């Protein structure tokens, strides 16, 4: 299956608010049921355990409606780890939705801003996380983003994303038809898989960025997690 360069509806301007808000709800369900949240947490847990930290700050780039930051806070609380999370989101409606949902979580702040040009000085966070964001970008933009985010992070960059595979594509195509009529979800969910990369392509992309040693972890079903140690230039596997 060749990688698609077609834009997802979510990336196009002028989408109706009700369609977008319902799509965000659907994405939270899919993240919870199909491993999106679990994959991001697994990457963070590996990084935290490796570095033996009990307190950390994290920037979640392209946070959407911030279900990943909420999951991180829940994970940290249950393990006695202090977490401070900033969710960066460019879309005004999406950012507003995230703020409303996270009113009861003082550990999380939502900031509007561009993932390619984050409004923070260098070394502002221990970790930068991007969950299911990079497949929206071109190869050149992915390499540039990884270089930018590595300047923001003191300890590491964590990438969690989809793996392009025919089974994943047809699976999400039929699954979304069963539980929603939302045109954005029906269009973007399978297109996201087609816009993603194979495991080998992800590895090559991470190596091309040249921002540090990394580990690549496959997570069921059809997800990959890349963990960059910014103090390790050699570990690339």
The secondary structure of the chain, three-state, reads: CCCCCCCCHHHCCCCCHHHHHHHHHHHHHHHHHHCHHHHHHHHHHHHHHHHCCCEEEEEEECCCCCHHHHHHHHHHHHCCCEEEEEEEECCHHHHHHHHHHCCCCCCEEEEECECCECCCCCCCEEEEEEECCHHHCCHHHHHHHHHHHHHHEEEEEEEEEEECCHHHHHHHHHHHHHHCCCHHHHHHHHHHHHHCECHHHHHHHHHHHCCCEEEEEEECCCEEEEEEECCCCCCEC
* Residue 235 domain flag: no
Question: pLDDT value at position 205?
Answer: 96
The answer to whether residue 4 sits within a structural domain is no
Domain count, the chain: 1
Q: What pLDDT score does 231 carry?
A: 73
Which portions of the chain are predicted below pLDDT 70?
A: 232-237
Domain-embedded: residue 118: yes
Q: Provide the CATH number for the domain around residue 116.
A: 3.40.50.150
Predicted TM-score (pTM) above 0.85: yes
Question: Is there a domain that residue 236 lies in?
Answer: no
- Give me the pLDDT at residue 25, please: 98
| Residue-level pLDDT at 49 | 93
The whole-number pLDDT of residue 236 equals: 54
Q: What is the pLDDT of residue 94?
A: 98
69 domain residue, yes or no: yes
Q: Is residue 165 part of a domain?
A: yes
Question: What does the pLDDT read at residue 162?
Answer: 98
Does residue 237 fall inside a structural domain? no
Whether 46 is in a domain gets the answer: yes
The residue range of the domain holding 201 is 9-229
Supply the pLDDT for residue 230. 83
Residues whose CB is less than 8 angstroms from the CB of residue 32 and which lie 6 or more positions away in sequence, other chains included: 67
Q: What pLDDT score does 232 carry? A: 61
């Amino acid at each position: 299956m060749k990688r698609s360069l077609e834009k997802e509806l979510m990336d196009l301007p002028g989408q109706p608010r009700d369609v977008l808000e319902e799509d965000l709800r659907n994405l939270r369900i899919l993240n919870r049921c199909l491993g999106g949240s679990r994959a991001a947490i697994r990457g963070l847990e590996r990084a935290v355990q490796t570095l033996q930290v009990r307190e950390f700050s994290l920037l979640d780039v392209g946070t959407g409606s911030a279900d990943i930051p909420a999951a991180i806070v829940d994970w940290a609380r249950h393990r006695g780890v202090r977490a401070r999370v900033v969710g960066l989101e460019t879309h005004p409606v999406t950012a507003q939705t995230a703020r409303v949902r996270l009113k009861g979580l003082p550990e999380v702040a939502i900031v509007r801003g561009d993932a390619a040009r984050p409004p923070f000085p260098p070394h502002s966070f221990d970790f930068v996380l991007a969950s299911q964001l990079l497949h929206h970008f071109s190869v050149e933009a992915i390499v540039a983003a990884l270089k930018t985010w590595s300047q923001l992070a003191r300890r590491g960059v964590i990438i969690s994303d989809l793996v392009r595979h025919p089974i994943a594509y047809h699976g999400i195509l039929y699954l979304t038809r069963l539980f929603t009529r939302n045109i954005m979800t029906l269009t973007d969910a399978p297109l996201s898989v087609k816009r993603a990369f194979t495991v080998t392509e992800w590895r090559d992309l991470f190596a091309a960025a040249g921002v540090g040693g990394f580990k690549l972890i496959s997570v069921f079903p059809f997800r990959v997690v890349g963990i960059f140690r910014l103090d390790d230039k050699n570990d690339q596997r």
